[in-house]
C-alpha cells in the first residue's frame, strides 16, 4: 500500500484546500483505505490536542521572576571602529605568535575575545533603539516591537478606530510593566485599591524579599478590558516606571472555529432528540443515548472553551513587577536630570576606557613574544656587526 | 570618585536590564502558552513541561542580546524550547527507538478508523499522547511542532535545524508510527457501543 502521493493531499484535505477533482480522488481513496482514514482522524485530533489543557497558574510569574533575578545580562556593545581594528590586530598577532611558537595555550586563552569582536555586526536588533521605554517616556511605549509581532496590535488599533460595527473581533490584551518605588507598602496598597475600583481581581500575587532586604512584588492582575487603559495609566503614576510593554492577540478565528463546531454539535443534538422521540426498539434507544452523551460532552467542551476565551477577552491581563528601592536608588531613578546624564556619560566613557585598556593589554601581551623575538634578532645582528667591526 | 563610578555603573546596568526585560517580555509573553504546549507535548507530563518551558524562557532571555533577527523571534524561541526538551528526554534514556515500530507489513485493520472514532474525544487525546511518548525524540519533536502546534514545515525545519526534506520525512514517518501504534490499541477494538451508565470517567 503506497501512501506517499496521498500525504500532501491529506494535508490539504485537512485544511479544506483541495479542488473538486482532487477532493473526489481523495475521498475515493479514503473510502478504500482504512490506514489513511485513521490517519486523517488522528491528525484532526492532533490539531486540537491542547485545547483542554491549561497553562499552570504560576508558570508566567515564575519565569518572569527568574529573568528579573538574572544578575548578568550581556551588554550589546557598540564598539567603536578603532577598538575593532585593535582587536583584529591583536587576533592577528595571536595567530602569528601561536603558529610561530606551536604553543597553543596562548591561542586558546586569547582566541575567544577577538573572534567575538570581529563577528559582531553593528547595531543589530531594533529593540535597542527603543530607549524611551524607560522612565518618564510612557508615551513611547511598544515602540521597540519588531515588525512581525507588532503587526497584530497595530491592526487591532486600526480596527477599533475604523468602526465598531465589527463586533466579532476577539482580542486578548496584555500589559506588562515594571516600576520601582521607595514607598513599597503604600504603592502596593494603592495598586490593590486601584484594582478594586477598576473592578478587577488578583490572579496571583507573589512577594519576595531579596538578600538586601528589598522586596519585589510580582502581580498578575485581571482587569475588565475596557478599563485597562485607565488602570494602566493609574499604575504608571505610582512610583517610578521602569519598563512598559503591551500586546494584543487576535483570537477571532479560533473563536469562530470553536463556535461553528459548537453549532454543528447543537444541530446534531436537536436531530438526535427528534430521533429519540420516534425511537421504538430498546437497541435504538441505547445507541441514541450513547450518541447523545457523546454530543453533550462535545457541546460542554466547546462551550467551556468559548467561555474561556470570552473571559480572557473581557478581562485583560496586566502583569506588574514592583521593585522596592533604597533611598539611594530612588535618588538615581528620578526623571533624567542633567546630573544623571553627566553621570551616565562619564560611566560610558569610563567603561570604554577600561575596555580599551583591556584590549591594549591583550594586544601588548599578544605581541610581546614577537617583540622579544625581534629584540633578540636585533641584539644578535648588532653583536655580529660589532664582532666584525672589531676584527 | 570610585563610589560615583559604581553608582553610575549601577544605573547603567539597571537601565540596560529593564530595557532588555521589557523588550523580551513584549515578544515572549504572547508566545508563552505555545511554548508551554510544545513542552507539554514533548515531555508528556505537566511537571516536566513546566520545568522545560521555564528553562527555555530563561535560556532565551540569556541569549536574547545575541538574537540577531535572522529568523523570526517565535521560530527562535520554539527552537530553544524543543532543544531544552530534547536534552531533557535524552537524560531520561527510556525512550523506545522508532526502529522497534518499523516492522514491515503491518496493515491497519479495516475497522480501526470506526473503532477510533467511537471513542470519546478525551480518550482519543489520551491515546494520542500515549502514542506520542513512544516515538523517538526527534520524530516526536517533528510531529509536535507540525501536527500538534500547527507550525509550517518550513518554520519547523528552521526550529529543529534540519533540512526541509529531513523534516518532512520525519513527520511522515512519525505519523506512520503513530497510526500503527494506535491501531494496535486493544481498547480500540474492545470498544463496543457504550451505554450511558457505562461511560468511562476521564482522569
B129-185 per-position pLDDT tens digit: 988 988 888 999 999 999 999 899 999 999 999 999 999 999 998 998 888 888 876
Which residues are paired to A173 by β-bridges? A248
In chain B, whose CA is at the least distance from the CA of A332? B11
The reported pLDDT for the residue numbered B191 is: 44
Looking at the fold, whether B18 and B30 belong to one and the same domain comes out as: yes
Taking CA–CA distances from B194, the nearest residue in chain A reads: A290
- pLDDT given for residue A279 in this prediction: 77
Q: What residue numbers bound the domain in which B41 lies?
A: 1-94
Indicate yes or no: CB of B68 within 8 angstroms of CB of A125.
Answer: yes
Q: What is the CATH number of the domain that holds B27?
A: 1.10.1740.10
Distance CA A275, CA A288 (A): 8
Domain boundary among B47, B78, B94: B94
Find out whether A120 and A88 touch, Cβ atoms under 8 Å: no
Looking at B94, B120, B144, the residue that finishes a domain is B94
Q: Taking the alpha carbons of A153, A159, A165, A169 in that order, is the dihedral positive or negative?
A: negative
The three three-digit cell numbers of residue A128, written as one number: 535597542
Are A287 and A206 spatial neighbours (Cβ–Cβ below 8 Å)? no
Query: Which helix (H) or strand (E) element contains residue B34?
Result: helix B32-43
Both B155 and B121 in a single domain? yes
Q: Are residues B61 and B34 in the same domain?
A: yes
Give the one of B46, B116, B193 whose C-beta lies nearest to A290's C-beta. Answer: B193
Q: How many CB atoms lie within 10 A of CB A97?
A: 20
**Residue B83 CB coordination number (10 Å):** 17
d(CA A113, CA A359): 9
Residue B132 lies in a domain: yes
Nearest to A250 by CA among A318, A151, A148: A151
Number of domains in chain B: 2
Evaluate whether A306 touches A255 at the Cβ level (below 8 Å): yes
Per-residue pLDDT tens digits of chain A, which is 391 residues long? 445 667 888 888 887 778 888 888 888 888 888 888 888 889 989 988 888 888 888 898 889 888 888 777 766 544 445 556 666 776 666 656 655 554 344 444 444 444 333 333 333 333 333 333 333 333 333 333 343 333 333 333 334 433 333 446 888 888 888 888 888 888 899 999 999 988 899 888 888 887 778 888 888 899 998 888 889 988 888 888 888 888 888 888 888 888 888 888 888 888 888 888 887 788 778 888 888 888 888 888 888 888 888 888 888 989 888 888 876 554 555 556 778 778 878 888 888 888 888 888 888 888 888 889 999 999 999 998 888 876 6
Q: Is the pTM of this model over 0.80?
A: no
Q: Do B65 and B104 lie in a common domain?
A: no
In-domain check, residue B203: no
Q: Is A319 on the interface with B (CB under 8 A)?
A: yes
- Are residue B14 and residue B62 in the same domain, yes or no? yes
Maximal CA-CA distance, chain A: 133
Q: How many other C-beta atoms can be found within 10 angstroms of the C-beta atom of residue B128?
A: 22
Q: Which one is predicted more confidently, B68 or A378?
A: A378
Confirm whether B202 is domain-assigned: no
Q: Would an 8 Å CB–CB cutoff place A343 in contact with chain B?
A: yes
Q: Which of A61, A73, A288 to mutate to test the interface with B (most CBs of B within 10 A)?
A: A73
Of A42, A66, A126, the CB nearest to B54: A66
CA distance B104 to B112: 18
* B198 located within any domain: no
Q: Is B197 part of any domain?
A: no
Beta carbons within 10 angstroms of residue A51's beta carbon: 16
**Integer Cα distance of A276 and A49 in angstroms:** 32
Among B94, B124, B158, give the residue marking a domain's end: B94
Contacts for A25 with CB less than 8 Å, ≥ 6 apart: A9
Q: Any chain B CB within 8 A of the CB of A250? A: no
Domain match, B109 and B54 both: no
**What ipTM did this prediction achieve?**
0.81
Chain A partners within 8 Å of B120 (Cβ): 294, 297
d(CA A47, CA A44): 5
- Out of B10, B23, B182, name the one closest to residue A38 (CB): B182
For the record, the C-alpha cell of A38 comes out as 485513521
Q: Between chains, do A42 and B175 touch, taking CB under 8 Å as contact? A: yes
Instruction: Please list every residue in chain B whose beta carbon sits closer than 8 Å to the beta carbon of residue A340.
Output: 11
Residues of chain B positioned with their CB less than 8 A from the CB of A63: 32, 53-54, 57-58
B109 and B59 share one domain: no
Contacts of B148 in chain A (CB under 8 A): 46-47, 49-50
Pair B104, B75 in one domain: no
Q: What CATH number should be reported for the domain holding residue B173?
A: 1.10.10.10
Within-domain flag for B201: no
Nearest-Cα distance to chain A for B158, in Å, is 17
Interchain proximity A351–B12, CB inside 8 Å: yes
Helices (DSSP H) in chain A: which residue ranges? 4-14, 20-32, 34-47, 59-68, 81-100, 105-119, 147-162, 184-197, 228-236, 252-278, 282-314, 327-333, 338-390
Mean pLDDT over all residues of chain B? 80
**Which chain B residues have a beta carbon less than 8 Å from that of A290?**
193-196
Per-residue pLDDT reduced to its tens digit, B110-127: 777 878 888 888 888 888
Q: Which residue of B has its CA nearest to A11?
A: B147
Contact (CB<8Å) B8/A66:
no
Cell 480596527 found at: A159
- Say if residue B36 is in the same domain as residue B62: yes
pLDDT at B189: 53
Q: Please give the pLDDT value at position B2.
A: 60
CA–CA separation, A203 and A83 (whole Å): 50
Phi, psi at residue A366, to the nearest 5°?
Answer: -65, -40
Residues with Cβ within 8 Å of A203's Cβ and at least 6 positions away in sequence, in order, are: A57, A220, A221, A222, A317
Taking the mean position of all CA atoms in its chain, how far away is CA A118? 28
Would residue B64 count as lying in a domain? yes
B52 in a domain, yes or no? yes
The verdict on B69 and B153 lying in the same domain is no
Per-residue pLDDT at B5: 67
Residues in chain A: 391
| Residues 350-389 of chain A whose Cβ lies under 8 A from any Cβ of chain B | 350-351
- Both B153 and B72 in one domain: the answer is no
d(CA B197, CA A290): 9
In this structure, are B140 and B181 located in the same domain?
yes
Amino acid at each position: 500500500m503506497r501512501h506517499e502521493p496521498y500525504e500532501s493531499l491529506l494535508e490539504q484535505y485537512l485544511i479544506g484546500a483541495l479542488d473538486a477533482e482532487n477532493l473526489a480522488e481523495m475521498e475515493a481513496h479514503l473510502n478504500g483505505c482504512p490506514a489513511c482514514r485513521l490517519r486523517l482522524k488522528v491528525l484532526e485530533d492532533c490539531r486540537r490536542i491542547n485545547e483542554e489543557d491549561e497553562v499552570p497558574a504560576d508558570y508566567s510569574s515564575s519565569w518572569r521572576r527568574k529573568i528579573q533575578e538574572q544578575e548578568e545580562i550581556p551588554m550589546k556593545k557598540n564598539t567603536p571602529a578603532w577598538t575593532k581594528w585593535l582587536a583584529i590586530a591583536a587576533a592577528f598577532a595571536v595567530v602569528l605568535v601561536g603558529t610561530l611558537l606551536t604553543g597553543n595555550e596562548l591561542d586558546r586563552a586569547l582566541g575567544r575575545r577577538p573572534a567575538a569582536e570581529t563577528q559582531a555586526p553593528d547595531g543589530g536588533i531594533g529593540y535597542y533603539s527603543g530607549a524611551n521605554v524607560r522612565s518618564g517616556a510612557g508615551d513611547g511605549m511598544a515602540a521597540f516591537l519588531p515588525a512581525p509581532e507588532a503587526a497584530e496590535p497595530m491592526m487591532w488599533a486600526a480596527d477599533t478606530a475604523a468602526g465598531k460595527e465589527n463586533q466579532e473581533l476577539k482580542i486578548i490584551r496584555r500589559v506588562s510593566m515594571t516600576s520601582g518605588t521607595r514607598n513599597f507598602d503604600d504603592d502596593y496598597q494603592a495598586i490593590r485599591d486601584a484594582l478594586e475600583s477598576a473592578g478587577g481581581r488578583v490572579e496571583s500575587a507573589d512577594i519576595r524579599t531579596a538578600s538586601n532586604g528589598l522586596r519585589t512584588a510580582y502581580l498578575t492582575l485581571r482587569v475588565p478590558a475596557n478599563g485597562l487603559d485607565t488602570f494602566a495609566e493609574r499604575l504608571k503614576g505610582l512610583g517610578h516606571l521602569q519598563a512598559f510593554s503591551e500586546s494584543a492577540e487576535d483570537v477571532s478565528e479560533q473563536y469562530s472555529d470553536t463556535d461553528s463546531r459548537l453549532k454543528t454539535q447543537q444541530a446534531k443534538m436537536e436531530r438526535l432528540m427528534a430521533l429519540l422521540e420516534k425511537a421504538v426498539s430498546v437497541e435504538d434507544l441505547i445507541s441514541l443515548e450513547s450518541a447523545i452523551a457523546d454530543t453533550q460532552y462535545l457541546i460542554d467542551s466547546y462551550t467551556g472553551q468559548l467561555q474561556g476565551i470570552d473571559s480572557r477577552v473581557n478581562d485583560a491581563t496586566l502583569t506588574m513587577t514592583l521593585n522596592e528601592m533604597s533611598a539611594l536608588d530612588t535618588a538615581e531613578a528620578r526623571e533624567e536630570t542633567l546630573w544623571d546624564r553627566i553621570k551616565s556619560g562619564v560611566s560610558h566613557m569610563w567603561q570604554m576606557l577600561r575596555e580599551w585598556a583591556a584590549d591594549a593589554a591583550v594586544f601588548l601581551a599578544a605581541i610581546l613574544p614577537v617583540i622579544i623575538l625581534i629584540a633578540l634578532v636585533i641584539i644578535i645582528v648588532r653583536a655580529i656587526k660589532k664582532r666584525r667591526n672589531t676584527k | 570618585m570610585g563610589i560615583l563610578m559604581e553608582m553610575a555603573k549601577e544605573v547603567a546596568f539597571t537601565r540596560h536590564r529593564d530595557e532588555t526585560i521589557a523588550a523580551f517580555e513584549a515578544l515572549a509573553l504572547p508566545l508563552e502558552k505555545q511554548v508551554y504546549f510544545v513542552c507539554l507535548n514533548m515531555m508528556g507530563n505537566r511537571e516536566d513541561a513546566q520545568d522545560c518551558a521555564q528553562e527555555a524562557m530563561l535560556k532565551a532571555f540569556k541569549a536574547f542580546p545575541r538574537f540577531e533577527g535572522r529568523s523570526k523571534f517565535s521560530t527562535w524561541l520554539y527552537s530553544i524550547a524543543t532543544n531544552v526538551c530534547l536534552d531533557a528526554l535524552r537524560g531520561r534514556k527510556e525512550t523506545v527507538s522508532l526502529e522497534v515500530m518499523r516492522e514491515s507489513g503491518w496493515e491497519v485493520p479495516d475497522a480501526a478508523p470506526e473503532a477510533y472514532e467511537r471513542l470519546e474525544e478525551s480518550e482519543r487525546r489520551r491515546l494520542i499522547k500515549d502514542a506520542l511518548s513512544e516515538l523517538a525524540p526527534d520524530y516526536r519533536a517533528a510531529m509536535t511542532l507540525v501536527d500538534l502546534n500547527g507550525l509550517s514545515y518550513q518554520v519547523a525545519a528552521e526550529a529543529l535545524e534540519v533540512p526541509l526534506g529531513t523534516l518532512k520525512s520525519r513527520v511522515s514517518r512519525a505519523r506512520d508510527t503513530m497510526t500503527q501504534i494506535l491501531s494496535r490499541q486493544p481498547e480500540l477494538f474492545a470498544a463496543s457501543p457504550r451505554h450511558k451508565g457505562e461511560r468511562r470517567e476521564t482522569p
